[in-house]
Structure 1
Amino acid sequence: MIIFDRVSVTYHEATEAVVRDVSLTIDEGELCLVTGATGAGKSTLLRAVNGLVPHFTGGTLAGRVVVDGRDTRDFPPRELADVVGMVVQDPLHGFVTDTVEEELAYGMEQLGVPASTMRKRVEETLDLLGIAELRNRPLRTLSGGQQQRVAIGAVLTAHPRVIVLDEPTSALDPTAAEDVLAAVTRLVHDLGITVLISEHRLERVVQYADRMLYLPGDGTVVDGPPAAVLATTAIAPPIVELGRLAGWDPLPLSVRDARRRASSLRERLAGGNPPARSPSDGEPRLTARGVVVRYGDLVAVNRIDLDLRAGEVVALMGRNGSGKSSLLWAVQGAGARQRGTVDVDGADPARLAPAQARRRVGLVPQTPADLLYLDTVAAECTAADRESGSDAGVCRALLDRLVPGIADDRHPRDLSEGQRLALVLAVQLTAAPSVVLLDEPTRGLDYPTKRRFADIVRDLAARGAAVVVATHDVELVAALADRVVVMAQGEVVADGPTAEVVVASPTFAPQTAKILHPLPWLTVTDVASALA
């Protein structure tokens, strides 16, 4: 179905190829997982499948990519649209209509699908992805996760023979991610559709993959069965890290298989307890009372009270559309707030000038690229140092700590999604505000980069900041948060220490907790320390 024949891709003015001399064949009906470090070339590899590389991105493609008999050198993306459907990392940038139903139908209209067939496919897709209630909603009013499901649906309605998904679950809550992956797997098994998925949250998808393509970052591609490839990679989900630690061979890829192997490990850990983490008793940094946010008739935040203390890392969780982002924008001061009060170090951020508000409350939004406006990485870092009153080089040092090696002269729009996020994190954290709000801050970040990100967040908390991380990444929450706040339908439904909240819900429990249940272990790091 897909043939890469000695493929190399080199972008304009780059000194080395992003992917180099890649030869492989992906058969019909395979689910192929593409993974690797942030910026290793995963998106380049995927975009070569539908001709975006090089027809849209520019650069030089050596070798051949053939999809269903069509050479992408001779067939631009528009002439492959009936064969290849693609969902990009930021779905909002790919939308071309105004409402959900219109977006689901648009691709079929361009392909000349009969109206009666279009209606049937739209209904099937709405039900398949659980978004029927969003049918008439404007796309820009949806949460990030809802937008991602609509983008996937817009591809599915066209019934392509190949589907390419670039970080398809990055903005989805755990339940929605399982639903989407189950739908994709059903397409592979029942209809023989070939699927390529690029994903950093391997714990969500690796058990479904037939094979894995791992990009170590030197331009090469390691190709093989997932368990065999993950045995030696620098990037691995918690279940694989736990399997390595316990010496399991072959490595399990699902929680069910790991639990069957874990009885001896549970015996070794019995009687021990991981290091305790609890909500901070530091001084209040932010106090919110009775916060209400409405969008027309929709109540996104309903009379929420929230206290954030110095030295505390709080995880804000909840299904897509539960009101997490609306709450963050409301307390930051730039977003809508119809009722309620917010106090940050004696002032309401909404009543301060933007520069003063940023020094009290920093916010990294779900679409971080919106905050980048200069031509080079160096210019963004210099502006961040100047505007925050920091010493020269502070922002650049933060960026290098997150993702080393990004050239000063790179344009921010040319970075990978993960690199761009790292740049925005560095820019926002340079000001070192007393309250830091991070909305899905690990989208597009690999496991090592997430660990470096967690170190930076802990440093901020140690210096007295209060940090809120709104996320669906349960593994990050288990490793980082002192306290978890869970929202549903605009209200807080749970608030307490991390171990108590995440273990109480199978939805939010990390892989290690599921494997070692009923023991109280949340992370592989804690298990390794106990065994040592």
Structure 2
Amino acid sequence: MITFDRVTVTYHGAADPTLRDVSLTIGEGELCLVTGATGAGKSTLLRAVNGLVPHFTGGTLAGRVTVDGRDTRVFPPRELADVVGVVVQDPLHGFVTDTVEEELAYSLEQLAVPAPTMRKRVEETLDLLGIADLRDRPLRTLSGGQQQRVAIGTVLTAHPRVIVLDEPTSALDPTAAEDVLAAVTRLVHDLGVTVLVSEHRLERVVQYADRMLYLPGDGTVVDGPPASVLATSAIAPPIVELGRLAGWDPLPLSVRDARRRAAPLRSRLGSLTPPPPRPATGAPRLTARGVAVVYGDLVAVNRVDLGLRAGEVVALMGRNGSGKSSLLWALQGAGPRYRGTVDVDGDDPARLPPAVARRRVGLVPQTPADLLYLDTVDAECAAADREAAADPGSCRSLFERLSPGVPGDRHPRDLSEGQRLALVLAVQLMAAPPVVLLDEPTRGLDYPTKRRFCATVRDLAAGGVAVVVATHDVELVAALADRVVVMAQGEVVADGPTAEIVVASPTFAPQTAKILHPLPWLTVADVAGVL
């Protein structure tokens, strides 16, 4: 179905090729997982499948890519649209209509699908992805996760033979991610659709994959069965890391298989004690009382009370549309607040000028690129240093810790999703606010970058900053959070220490907790620390 024949891709000004002499064949009805570090070339590989590389991105492509017999050098993306469907990382950038139903029908209109068939396919897709109740909603009013599901739906309606998904579950809660992956798996097994998935959260996808393409970052591609590739890969999900630690061979890829192997390990850990939770003893940093956010007839946040202490890392969790982002914007002061009060060191951020409010509460939104407006990385960093009256190079130094090796003359819009997020985080932290709010901060981050991110957040907390991380990443919560707050329908339904909230939850439990249940272990690092 897809053939790469000695493919090399080199971008203008780059010292080395992004892809180097890649040859591989992906057959019909395969689910192929593409993984690697941020910036290793995953997006380039995916975009070569439908001709975006090099027709849209520029650069030089040597070799040949064929899809269903069509050479991408001869057939531009528009002439491959009936064969290859692509879902990009940021779904909002791909929308062209106003409402969900219109967006699902748009690609069918471009393909001249008859109206009765179009209506049938739209209804099937609404049901398949569980978004029927959103059919009349304006796209810009949806949460990030809801937008992601609609973007996947716009591809599925056209019934392509190949589907390319770039970070398809990055903005989805665990349950929604499972629903989407189950739908994709049905397409593979029932209809023989070929699917390429690029995903950093391997713990969600790897058990469904037939094969894996691992990009180590030198332009080459390691191709093979997932278990064999992950045995030596520098990037691996917690289940594989635990398997390596325990010496399991072959490595299990699902929680079920791991639990069947884990009885001896659970026996060894039964008499040992996990690291105790850190008590929240710092001074109050932010106090919110009765916060409500209303959009027309929709109550997004309903009278929420929340307190944050210095040095505390709080994870804000809940399904898509539960009100997490609306609450963060209300706390920061830039978002609407129907009622309630927010106090940060004696001031309400909503009553302060924006520049002053940023020094009280820093916010990194779901779409960090919205905060970038200059032409180069160095210009953004220099502007942040000036606005914060920091020493020149301070912002660049912090950015280098989060995402090393990014050229200073690179345009921020040309960075990967993870690199843009790291840049915005560095810019926001230059204001040194006592409260930092992060909305889906690990979206697009690989495991090594995520570990560096956790170290940065821990440094902030050690310096007395209160940090809130709104996330669907249960592995991040297990490794980072001192406390978990769970929202549903705009209300707080649970608030307590991380282990107390997540261990018993089938939705929010990390892989290690599921494998070692009922023992209260959250991360592979905790297990390794006592063995």
Please say if 1:480 is aligned against 2:466.
no
SS of 1:8's equivalent in the other structure is strand
SS of 2:386's equivalent in the other structure is helix
Report the Cα distance in structure 2 between the residues aligned to 1:247 and 1:274, rounded to whole angstroms.
21
Report the Cα distance in structure 2 between the residues aligned to 1:508 and 1:102, rounded to whole angstroms.
34
Match in the other structure for 1:70: 70
Equivalent AA in structure 2 for residue 431 of structure 1: A
SS of 2:49's equivalent in the other structure is coil
Shift of 1:2: 0.3
SS of 1:48's equivalent in the other structure is helix
CA contact (8 A) 1:280 1:309 kept: yes
Match in the other structure for 2:455: 455
Shift of 1:51: 0.6
Shift of 1:392: 1.4
Match in the other structure for 1:380: 380
Deviations 1:263-296 (A, max 9, x none): 0000111121211114512111001111110111
Equivalent AA in structure 2 for residue 31 of structure 1: L
Report the Cα distance in structure 1 between the residues aligned to 2:234 and 2:428, rounded to whole angstroms.
29
Report the Cα distance in structure 2 between the residues aligned to 1:176 and 1:273, rounded to whole angstroms.
34
Please say if 1:235 is aligned against 2:247.
no
Match in the other structure for 1:2: 2
Match in the other structure for 1:516: 516
Report the Cα distance in structure 2 between the residues aligned to 1:431 and 1:504, rounded to whole angstroms.
38
SS of 2:186's equivalent in the other structure is helix
Please say if 1:335 is aligned against 2:335.
yes
Report the Cα distance in structure 2 between the residues aligned to 1:505 and 1:389, rounded to whole angstroms.
45
Match in the other structure for 1:13: 13
Deviations 1:70-91 (A, max 9, x none): 0001111110000000000000
SS of 1:268's equivalent in the other structure is helix
Report the Cα distance in structure 2 between the residues aligned to 1:10 and 1:204, rounded to whole angstroms.
31
Report the Cα distance in structure 2 between the residues aligned to 1:445 and 1:100, rounded to whole angstroms.
28
Match in the other structure for 1:274: 274
Report the Cα distance in structure 2 between the residues aligned to 1:50 and 1:273, rounded to whole angstroms.
52
Report the Cα distance in structure 2 between the residues aligned to 1:43 and 1:509, rounded to whole angstroms.
30
SS of 2:106's equivalent in the other structure is helix
Shift of 1:500: 0.3
Report the Cα distance in structure 1 between the residues aligned to 2:516 and 2:470, rounded to whole angstroms.
26
CA contact (8 A) 1:279 1:496 kept: no
Report the Cα distance in structure 2 between the residues aligned to 1:228 and 1:361, rounded to whole angstroms.
46
Match in the other structure for 2:308: 308
Equivalent AA in structure 1 for residue 146 of structure 2: Q
Report the Cα distance in structure 2 between the residues aligned to 1:356 and 1:390, rounded to whole angstroms.
16
Counterparts of 1:425-504 in structure 2 under 5 Å?
A: 425-504=425-504
Equivalent AA in structure 1 for residue 35 of structure 2: T
- Answer with 417-426 or 128-137: which moved more: 417-426
CA contact (8 A) 1:105 1:157 kept: yes
Report the Cα distance in structure 2 between the residues aligned to 1:424 and 1:4, rounded to whole angstroms.
36
Report the Cα distance in structure 1 between the residues aligned to 2:28 and 2:426, rounded to whole angstroms.
42
Match in the other structure for 1:264: 264
Q: How many residue pairs were aligned?
A: 531
SS of 1:106's equivalent in the other structure is helix
Report the Cα distance in structure 1 between the residues aligned to 2:437 and 2:279, rounded to whole angstroms.
17
CA contact (8 A) 1:278 1:483 kept: no
Shift of 1:466: 0.2
Shift of 1:379: 0.6
Counterparts of 1:396-407 in structure 2 under 5 Å?
A: 396-407=396-407
Equivalent AA in structure 1 for residue 131 of structure 2: I
Report the Cα distance in structure 1 between the residues aligned to 2:400 and 2:38, rounded to whole angstroms.
13
CA contact (8 A) 1:279 1:483 kept: no
SS of 1:285's equivalent in the other structure is strand
Shift of 1:430: 2.0
SS of 1:86's equivalent in the other structure is strand
Please say if 1:90 is aligned against 2:90.
yes
Deviations 1:144-171 (A, max 9, x none): 0000000000000000000000000000
Equivalent AA in structure 1 for residue 317 of structure 2: M
Equivalent AA in structure 2 for residue 226 of structure 1: P
Report the Cα distance in structure 1 between the residues aligned to 2:19 and 2:416, rounded to whole angstroms.
14
- Answer with 267-276 or 193-202: which moved more: 267-276
Match in the other structure for 1:116: 116
SS of 2:390's equivalent in the other structure is coil
Shift of 1:431: 1.9
- What are structure 1's unaligned runs of at least 5 residues? none
Report the Cα distance in structure 1 between the residues aligned to 2:431 and 2:206, rounded to whole angstroms.
38
RMSD: 0.6
Shift of 1:504: 2.3
Report the Cα distance in structure 2 between the residues aligned to 1:241 and 1:248, rounded to whole angstroms.
10
Report the Cα distance in structure 1 between the residues aligned to 2:261 and 2:464, rounded to whole angstroms.
42
Please say if 1:360 is aligned against 2:365.
no
SS of 2:437's equivalent in the other structure is strand
Rate the CA distance shift 1:188–1:222 in 2: closer, same or farther, 3 A: same
- Answer with 197-206 or 53-62: which moved more: 53-62
Match in the other structure for 1:180: 180
Match in the other structure for 1:28: 28
